[in-house]
Amino acid sequence: MAKSRTNHPDWSIFVPVLPEKGPRPQALYAEIRRLIEEGRLPPGSKLPTTRDLAARFSLARGAAVVAYEMLVADGFAEARVGAGTYVARVVPTVGGLVVRERKRPPEPQGPLPGALGCSTADETTIRTFRTLLNRHLTQPSARHYHYGQPAGGEDLRIEIAAYLRSARGVRCEADQVIVTSGTQQALDLVIRSLLSPGDAVWIEDPCYPMARAAFSAAGMRLAAVPVDGEGLDVAAGERLSPDARAVYVTPSHQFPLGVTLTMSRRMALIDWARRNEAFVIEDDYDSEFRFSGPPLTSLQGIDGDGRVIYIGTFSKTLMPGFRIGYLVVPRALVGRVLEVRQLTDRFPSTLFESALAEFLRDGHFASHVKRARRRVRAARDALVEVISGAGVSVGVPDQGLHLVAEVPPEGSDVEHVTRAAEVGFGLRALSTMYHGDETRQGLVIGFSGFPADVLASAAGRWAASLARR
């Protein structure tokens, strides 16, 4: 008897085109599925044997077997005992949609030199973290296999509390620390735990835009309190909104103006909070980067009445990609904040927590900050030299990761931002960060996250573009 054909009679015109690289089973599966979805392999038609496929495409037979198993599992094919594999009788059709190989997307383009929110890369730190993470992956703790504590692991909270006591004068113990995924989550937790829609809140004017957005989205009544050379004007805040329930402040290095809240203003702010039973939300986002003089004491450290809630982050010192920050709250408020935390984000990453706890405990963090501070200072000095040489007035900050420059002639700060981007220099318009009626023109420029020569080169292109106008 003549041997029956196992191939579809018109299979030759449906030959899949496999990519040169990549896993063979997945590539074969994707191409046959494409032919089925386009209707070029009709429902119920017989597919070639795995042996024929393997020979035709110079594949291991196992790769063809796996591809067919995937088609069957996804409902695109049917395996009939003793008869072979057939296109399923009912399959989705997508009218010409091509099922293509999944490719890795290109690396996203990074921010322009001068942009805000960039941390400084450090090879020593990356190497150390790689060692720590590998250790916890090769010898994983049992804590990684069950749900953790909403406050975060005790080992990391102990190290954070110890660091804040010595470096920032924060008065706290581990049970007051709540690990977060950054400043924004910390703010959200505070707002939803302690405030209600319609409550009045003071914000600095100008203010960190994402903080302002968080309060606005929660329905707070915002009072834009002006900032002068001494920081937040407490007396003005009392005139604008005496019944405020909270104030958001960046006292060590005001964002974006860069001024420091004076001691007299600090005491006035804490006194106001005590008298009105209000909360002071202290965002201490970049205090590690002080270039002259001793670190400034936190507001929380001089508060004796439990009115200050302290927010910090490792995004500026290490990298935003770690997504680790922290809250320090008075003990009376810990339970309320944790109730909200576990409803939305049950616990932080235990793997990163364990590695970071060791990083802090073994002194790596202190060494990293010293190296990062040197690099950031060099970048600041290079940036100031270029900008000043172009005739643009700029202040040299003693702390932080950004500076404010005056706006050159011929254009607003918003227009200069657009022009600078055209030559590869990242700026932010100061005027857009105001919330009240009065605004000021200025250019906010970051000097972290880029080598000094790269930052100076970008600033030089911008300076040259100014000279051509």
Q: Provide mean pLDDT across the span 330-337.
A: 96
Domains of the chain, CATH where assigned: 15-87 (1.10.10.10), 123-366 (3.40.640.10), 373-468 (3.90.1150.10)
What whole-number percentage of the chain has pLDDT above 90? 67
Model pLDDT, residue 183:
95
pLDDT at 274: 96
pLDDT at site 103: 61
| pLDDT reported for residue 81 | 84
Angle, helix 50-57 to helix 61-73, in steps of 10 degrees = 120
Q: What is the model's pLDDT at position 28?
A: 85
pLDDT band at 467 (very low <50, low <70, confident <90, very high): confident
Does residue 77 surpass a pLDDT of 80?
A: yes
Residues of the chain with pLDDT > 70, as a percent, come to: 92
Mean pLDDT is lowest, of 51-60, 144-153, 432-441, for 51-60
Please provide the distance, in angstroms rounded to a whole number, between the alpha carbons at the two ends of the chain: 90
Q: Which two tokens stand for residue 301?
A: 């450290």
Using pLDDT thresholds of 50, 70 and 90, give the confidence band for residue 360.
very high
Strand blocks (E) in 109-229: 177-180, 200-205, 221-228
Q: What is the pTM of this model?
A: 0.79
DSSP code at position 131: H
Burial annotation 108-131 (CB, 10 A radius, 16+ → b, else e) = eeeebbbbbebbbebeebeebbee
| φ, ψ at 192 (rounded to 5°) | -80, -20
Parallel/antiparallel/unpaired status of strands 177-180 and 325-328:
antiparallel
Q: Tell me the mean pLDDT in the region 130-148.
A: 90
- In terms of pLDDT, which residue wins out, 5 or 139? 139
Residue 94 has pLDDT above 70, yes or no: no
pLDDT mean across residues, the chain: 89
Which segments of 90-236 are extended strands (E)?
A: 177-180, 200-205, 221-228, 231-232
**pLDDT band of 340, cuts 50, 70, 90:** very high
Between 442 and 24, name the one with better pLDDT. 442
- The DSSP symbol for 346 reads -
Complete edge-to-edge strand list for the sheet that includes strand 279-283: 177-180, 325-328, 308-313, 279-283, 246-249, 200-205, 221-228, 231-232
Tens-digit pLDDT profile for residues 382-405: 999 999 998 999 989 999 999 999
The continuous run of DSSP H or E covering 466 comes out as helix 452-468
Residue 57: name the closest of 91, 15, 94, 104 by CA.
15
Q: What confidence score (pLDDT) does residue 3 get?
A: 41
Mean pLDDT over residues 360-375, rounded? 95
- How far is residue 369's CA from residue 136's CA, in Å, rounded to a whole number? 24
Greater model confidence, 19 or 201 = 201
Cα–Cα distance, 314 to 345 (Å, whole number): 19
Q: What pLDDT is recorded for position 268?
A: 97
Q: Mean pLDDT over residues 273-287, rounded?
A: 95
Q: What are the residues facing 402 on neighbouring strands?
A: 446
**pLDDT confidence band for 39 (50 / 70 / 90):** confident
- Pairwise CA distance, residues 242 & 152, whole Å: 36
Q: Which residue has the higher pLDDT, 431 or 410?
A: 431
Q: How confident is the model at residue 8 (pLDDT cuts 50, 70, 90)?
A: very low
**Looking at residues 4-23, what average pLDDT do you find?**
56
Binning pLDDT at 50, 70 and 90, where does residue 16 land?
A: low
Q: What is the C-alpha separation between 237 and 225, in angstroms, rounded?
A: 5
Residue 31 — pLDDT band, cuts 50, 70, 90?
Answer: confident
Q: How far apart are CA 220 and CA 198, in angstroms?
A: 5
Average pLDDT over residues 213-222: 96
Predicted local confidence at residue 30, as pLDDT: 86
In this prediction, residues 180-209 reach a mean pLDDT of 96
Q: Whole-angstrom Cα distance, residue 245 to residue 226?
A: 18
* Interval 89-118 mean pLDDT: 72
pLDDT at 101: 47
Q: Is 50 exceeded by the pLDDT of residue 198?
A: yes
Confidence of residue 20 (pLDDT cuts 50, 70, 90): low
Of the pLDDT bands very low, low, confident and very high (cuts 50, 70, 90), residue 12 is: low
Strands (E), 279-342: 279-283, 308-313, 325-328
Q: Which residues contact 321 (CB under 8 A, 6 or more apart)?
A: none
pLDDT grade, residue 308 (50/70/90)? very high
Secondary structure of residue 384 in the 3-state scheme: helix
Q: How many CB atoms lie within 10 A of CB 51?
A: 12
**Nearest to 278, CA basis, from 247, 241, 322:** 247
Instruction: Please state, as a whole number, how many other Cβ atoms lie within 10 Å of the Cβ of residue 220.
Output: 23
The closest alpha carbon to 382, from 443, 314, 454, 334, belongs to 454
Alpha-carbon span 428 to 380, nearest angstrom: 16
pLDDT band at 293 (very low <50, low <70, confident <90, very high): confident
Residue 10 has pLDDT above 60, yes or no: no
Assess contact for 164 and 325: CB atoms under 8 A: no
